[in-house]
Amino acid sequence: MDGRILLKCVIFMCLIACSTGRELKLKDQGTIYNHTLATILVEYAATVYVTDLTELFTWTCPRCDDLTKGFQIIELIVDVKRCLQAFVGVAPDLNAIVIAFRGTQGTSIQNWIVDLYWKQLDIEYPGTKDAMVHHGFYSAYHNTTLRPGVLSAVKRAKELYGDIPIMVTGHSMGGAMAAFCGLDLTVNYGSQNVSVMTFGQPRIGNAAFASYYSKWVPNTIRVTHEHDVVPHLPPYYHYFPEKTYHHFPTEVWLHNLGFELLAYTEEKVCDNSGEDPSCSRSVAGKSIMDHLTYYGVRIGGEDGFCRIVMNRGLTAYGTVDVDGNVILSRDIPASVLRMNVESNEKGRSI
Ligand SMILES: *[C@@H]1O[C@H](CO)[C@@H](O)[C@H](O)[C@H]1NC(C)=O
Ligand SMILES: *[C@@H]1O[C@H](CO)[C@@H](O)[C@H](O)[C@H]1NC(C)=O
Ligand SMILES: *[C@@H]1O[C@H](CO)[C@@H](O)[C@H](O)[C@H]1NC(C)=O
């Protein structure tokens, strides 16, 4: 190879390296992957696992700080029987409504993962042709106390703060619920400014569902990490395209390159197929450890018990329904409202 060709190669490789930079716009979709935003949202997705409801509701848990400081919970919803948990609140730094769903906790993570291999596409997604999803994931959001709780909190937040963006997030099974929630808000409630970011999410539906989903919620980032097993499940059978599960876009695959002193993490923004073979699908994906760490944040996989901790003071904010579900909600303190009005130049009247 002569020198000029070599030089051209080097420049070309630099260009490729530069183009995998941190904030990258996918032209065909308008999806923007924002590294800074991802490192903030992963904190919310991790915090929703906290079992002490008092700490969570008052945002005083050990990890309720730094990147999520000042978060105002509007509603905290716990489905005790099914061991599901979610919150809705307003993040002043992001000037957005944040909705977070907890992943599975009632059973050991190993058992839950083994079960994922056998999940069927067993319910039609309403209002679409040919779109099939997994009933268990679907009903965890749609057929529990989570959905009405989330919807009423979003309505209240919008009354108070106006039409600020809505960011929905979750890890693992919580990512599946986040996707259903983002779609629900967009399709059924006409919300304009919904984005979804999930971490280590399983597949939830077939290809028809994936394309329906990405049409309605194009601003979706599905983060996967190294060999995390969960995004590989339920399995994708490429030789059986009509019947298989199929991820929606856009995947961002976090994986390590280089070694020793030169090791670094690449955040690869994948193609818009949802099943980019050069992203997490390029590895076998058998790791549970990689499932439990995203952006260096330990997330989920606490003990195998489903429990809640709640002190008596909290009952003033709560209702407990006949099934034992807990819904804690509050009106935003006046001081916070005033702050928001002052910082809002349009001066929305409240
Ligand atoms: C990325 O997100 C952060 C946090 O929300 C925001 O401050 C920043 O402006 C965003 N960057 C771009 C390029 O949108
Ligand atoms: C919702 O839950 C109820 C009671 O648990 C059940 O009878 C019903 O079939 C469920 N519907 C769907 C669509 O899952
Ligand atoms: C979404 O929210 C941003 C920030 O508040 C705003 O600039 C933008 O116009 C909104 N987009 C839509 C479609 O409402």
Q: How far is the CA of 58 from the centre of ligand 3 (A)?
A: 29
Which value, in Å, is the radius of gyration of the alpha carbons in the chain? 21
First to last CA, the chain: 70
The pLDDT of residue 308: 67
The pLDDT of residue 249: 96
Tell whether ligand 3 has an atom less than 6 A from the beta carbon of residue 164: yes
Per-residue model confidence as pLDDT tens digits over 216-248:
999 999 999 999 999 999 999 988 877 899 999
The pLDDT of residue 259: 82
Q: How far is the CA of 283 from the centre of ligand 3 (A)?
A: 38
**The whole model's pTM is what?**
0.85
Q: Per residue in 138-177, is it b (16+ CB within 10 Å) or e — as a string?
A: bebbbebbbbebbbbbbebbeebbeebebbbbbbbbbbbb
Residue 6 burial (C-beta neighbours within 10 Å; 0-12, 13-18, 19+): exposed
The pLDDT of residue 24: 44
List all residues whose CB is within 6 A of at least one atom of ligand 2. Answer: 139, 143
The pLDDT of residue 94: 95
Q: How far is the CA of 166 from the centre of ligand 3 (A)?
A: 10
Tell whether ligand 1 has an atom less than 6 A from the beta carbon of residue 139: no
- Of residues 109 and 23, more confidence is placed in 109
pLDDT (average), residues 152-179: 95
Q: How far is the CA of 93 from the centre of ligand 2 (A)?
A: 39
Is the pLDDT reported for residue 36 higher than 90? yes
Q: Atom 5 in ligand 2: which residue has the minimum CA distance? A: 143
Closest ligand 1 atom to 94 CA: 5
pLDDT (average), residues 145-157: 93
Is the pLDDT reported for residue 35 higher than 80? yes
- In the chain, where does DSSP find H-type helix? 3-19, 35-47, 53-57, 109-116, 135-142, 146-161, 173-189, 207-216, 334-343
Tell whether ligand 1 has an atom less than 6 A from the beta carbon of residue 34: yes
DSSP type of residue 228 = B
Is the pLDDT reported for residue 6 higher than 60? no
Q: Is the dihedral of CA 115, 121, 124, 128 positive or negative?
A: positive
Per-residue model confidence as pLDDT tens digits over 68-107:
999 999 999 988 888 889 999 999 999 999 999 999 876 6
Q: Atom 8 in ligand 2: which residue has the minimum CA distance? A: 143
pLDDT (average), residues 28-32: 60
**What mean pLDDT, rounded, does the chain reach?**
83
* Structure confidence at residue 312 as a pLDDT band (50, 70, 90): low
Instruction: List beta partners, residue 86.
Output: 77, 101
The pLDDT of residue 338: 34
Which residues, other chains included, contact 267 with Cβ-Cβ below 8 Å and sequence gap of 6+? 20, 22, 33, 35, 252, 253, 254
Residue with tokens 């303190």: 333
Per-residue model confidence as pLDDT tens digits over 43-66:
999 999 998 888 899 999 998 988
| Ligand in nearest proximity to the CA of 142 | 2
Is the pLDDT reported for residue 183 higher than 90? yes
Fill in the amino acid letter for 181: C
Distance CA 17, CA 288 (A): 29
Tell whether ligand 1 has an atom less than 6 A from the beta carbon of residue 292: no
Tell whether ligand 1 has an atom less than 6 A from the beta carbon of residue 36: yes
Is the pLDDT reported for residue 343 higher than 70? no
Which residues, other chains included, contact 312 with Cβ-Cβ below 8 Å and sequence gap of 6+? none
Most ligand 1 atoms within 8 A of CB, residue of 24, 36, 197 to mutate: 36
